[in-house]
Amino acid sequence: MPKKTVRCSLACDADQLKAKRAQYQSILSDLAQLDTDNDASRVLNYNKREVLQLLEQIRGAAPAGRGADTPVPGWLNVETMVGAVATGRPGGRAVGRARDEAITGLGHLFYMAGAQMTSVLDESLEALLSVLRDAESGEPRRVLAIKALGEVCWSCAPAQARLLAKGGVQALVECVHNYRQQAWAARWACHTLAVALADNADVWRHLRQLETLEATLSHLALDEPLWTNWDNNHASILHRLLYGPRTVRQ
Q: Following DSSP, what letter does each residue of 91-158 receive, concatenated?
A: TSHHHHHHHHHHHHHHHHHHHHHGGGGGGGHHHHHHHHHHHHH-TT--HHHHHHHHHHHHHHHHH-TH
- Kindly state whether residues 194 and 101 are assigned to the same domain: no
Instruction: Render pLDDT for 103-141 as a digit per residue (tens, 0 to 9).
Output: 998 888 888 877 777 888 898 999 999 999 998 889 999
Q: Pick the last residue of a domain from 134, 156, 178.
A: 156
Per DSSP, the three-state class of 246 is coil
How far is Cα of residue 84 from the mean position of the Cα atoms in its chain? 16
Answer whether residue 162 is part of any domain: no
107 & 223 share domain:
no
**Domain termination site, one of 156, 187, 211:** 156
Domain of 203 in residue numbering reads as 167-250
pLDDT of residue 25: 53
Among the listed residues 93, 92, 110, the one whose alpha carbon sits nearest the alpha carbon of residue 54: 110
Question: How many alpha carbons fall within 13 Å on the CB side of residue 162?
Answer: 21
pTM of the model: 0.68
Let me know whether 151 and 174 are in one domain: no
Do residue 190 and residue 149 come from a single domain? no
CA separation for the pair 146, 193 (Å, rounded): 9
Say if 14 falls within a structural domain.
no
> Would 121 be classed as within a structural domain?
yes
Residue 21 lies in a domain: no
pLDDT reported for residue 145: 96
Domain count, the chain: 2
Q: What is the pLDDT of residue 242?
A: 93
Instruction: In whole angstroms, give the CA distance from residue 79 to residue 105.
Output: 10
Round to whole Å and give the CA distance between 223 and 225: 6
Parts of the chain with a pLDDT under 50: 3-10, 24, 27-28, 31-32, 34-40, 42-43, 62-91
Q: Are residues 173 and 136 in the same domain?
A: no
pLDDT of residue 120: 85
Is residue 234 a part of any domain in this protein? yes
One domain for residues 80 and 129: yes
What pLDDT score does 11 carry?
54
Q: Are residues 62 and 171 in the same domain?
A: no
Residues 204, 114 within the same domain: no
Domain boundary among 123, 156, 189: 156
Same domain? 150 vs 174: no
Residues 176 and 240 in one domain: yes
Q: What count of other Cβ atoms lies within 10 Å of the Cβ of residue 194?
A: 20
Q: Does residue 36 form part of some domain? A: yes
Q: Considering the domain boundaries, does residue 5 fall inside one?
A: no
Pair (40, 152) in one structural domain? yes
148 with 42, same domain? Answer: yes
Does some domain include residue 179?
yes
